[in-house]
Amino acid sequence: MTVMTETVARPFEHPAAVRSQVTVPLRFPDGFTATAEIMTFHGLADGKEHLLLALGEWEQTLLDQGPEGKAPLVRLHSECLTGDVFGSERCDCGPQLREAVEEIAAVGGFLLYLRQEGRGIGLYSKLDAYALQDTGLDTYEANVALGRGEDERDYSAAAQMLGALGAGRIRLLTNNPDKVGQLTALGVVVSEQVPTGVHLSAANHRYLAAKRSHTAHTIELPAEILPAVPAEIIPSHDELLARVDALVPRLRERAAETEEIRRIPEATMAELKAAGVFQMLAPKAVGGFGMGLETYVEVVRRLAQGCVSTAWAVGHLVEHVWMLARWPQEAQDEVFANGPAPLAAATGAPPGKAEEVPGGFAISGRWSFASGVMHSEWALLAVQHGDVRVQCLVPVSDLELLDVWHTAGLRGTGSNDLRAENLFVPAHRVLEWNRLAAADNPGSRIHPDPNIHIPMATFLNMVAPAAALGAAEHALEVFQDLMTVRKVKQTTQARQADSPLAQARFSQAYGHVATARLHWQEAVSVVAASYDRRPVAFTDEERAQYRLSLGLSGVASAEAVRLILTGSGGSVHRLTHPLQRIQRDVNVLLNHASLTMDPILEQAGRGLLDLGFSVPAEQF
């Protein structure tokens, strides 16, 4: 969206003039006909060959445009070769053009045909954006992934064209609030915003949904589950990992920026969406890939080899898409209406309070550690209703976002707080935690995907160990490169790699990383093996095994990072060096409940000795 500033010149300060006028009869494919006076102009701000089509009794509307009269009806229509000429159904441009001519001809006014293909990025780039949309990005995210703006259109020339005809007060035919805002800022009085029709097709549902949700277009769409992604475009496990591996160099380049802005950069989010990362666990029926635990945790691990903050936030956002697919149909219709990967933060620290009211619940609370909330449309909030723990699904826009995430590590996760006071949540967006967490959850009655038919605990606790392992693997790689060029003071070797003690240190670090990897793989295999049972469930021994293996993996990863940092010299503690960032990130990871060793060792010992856990099993 173009943002107008107070320094923008108004159209009448730099006026344009009509260059030519010619009468053109129009005929559309459905047989509708009209006659237009097509005008060209001198002096347009952007120098492009925009056209104005004067339709109906347009001259009379100019005379009547005072406060008591009816101003001309105007449509700003951006050129769309694929839609206007070839009838593409990926957008709604062709039907909107046809509708606008008829509407304006009936009452008098102007259609401005603006040479702004692809919201200003051009025809070729628009087609490139289509290809990215086929991978899961929406129309705005695809533009950003190409390095372009979400919407590069500037309507200064349109205001000049209207000014050249003396149309200072208009009725604007549009669903786009940005057009109203820009024209108003440019000095054109928009006395009324007249909505266009909704021209929905199977091919443009996501396009229209993105316009509604992202740029507040006034579009009413039916709530429905989107068609499943065809099997031929669902990547394999290896194909998705290859896409993630290709992102790692750019994650490293942006790691410092991620820390600085305390969230994932928009360019990174666009690339992750283009790779299909966020839809990997979503059911196929809503356009997801329906993948399993092994792919999910491997993606988190590899992302952490680039940026630990990104891996942490993305890992949880992906997990929460999977959690949303466990809800009843009505809630799923709402959250999946705009695509296969609705992004949601989830937090239960501490639980809020709920009071039942007519039609739902009123909730209050302050929730911490909402990782990924800066990129989320929804929030999953743990709430206590009497003795029952429930989860509430709430639009982030309904909550107060508290910017409190100022930390030593994982700074880029944006894990801020959320607050609500007597917020109404309709009953269909409230679900008992026990139902949500069970293998037999409401979503399992809807989706056949195996990953929905398992207890929620099987995916929980996995992000922190995977992120720690990926971070340690990156640190080992950096250390190896550093040793081949670094000269250590008070030694005789020309480079650190030639020192026997340094070689021993590297071997120790390498061994700790290998140990972390083996423990991590053991935990994943224990969880994956449970999928073959029905119902899927852990014995106490299995739960102890996998939690202990995850914890020991984290310990080994952290020890590898410690060895590397203490053998890398003082320069690696500059804030520009990746090793200091990795150390800070891993230190914070170790304080997450999934890697806090004291309770893990206690409960794992009880489970392995068949003594029973001293806390509820689902909490371990």
Nearest-angstrom CA–CA distance, 31 and 209: 30
- CA distances for 228 relative to 186, 303, 441, angstroms: 44, 27, 21
Q: State the distance between the two ends of the chain, measured CA to CA, in whole angstroms.
A: 46
Nearest-angstrom CA–CA distance, 399 and 149: 28
Check 75, 148, 153, 243 and give the catalytic one: 153
Is 537 exposed, middle or buried (CB count within 10 Å of its CB: 0-12, 13-18, 19+)? middle
Nearest-angstrom CA–CA distance, 123 and 325: 37
DSSP SS3 for 333: helix
Cβ-based neighbours of 245, under 8 Å, separated by 6 or more: 302
Closest CA to 429 of 398, 460, 401: 398
- Is-contact 74 171, C-beta < 8 A? yes
Nearest-angstrom CA–CA distance, 205 and 91: 9
The question of whether 543 is a catalytic residue gets the answer no
Cβ-based neighbours of 300, under 8 Å, separated by 6 or more: 311, 314, 315, 318, 462, 463, 466, 467, 470
Listed in order, strand segments (DSSP E) in 525-596 are none
Check 92, 128, 138, 151 and give the catalytic one: 151
- Is-contact 176 77, C-beta < 8 A? no
85: how many CB neighbours lie within 10 A of its CB? 11
Nearest-angstrom CA–CA distance, 456 and 452: 9
The question of whether 128 is a catalytic residue gets the answer no
Closest CA to 367 of 355, 354, 383: 383
6: how many CB neighbours lie within 10 A of its CB? 5
Nearest-angstrom CA–CA distance, 97 and 385: 53
The residues carrying an active-site annotation are 151, 153
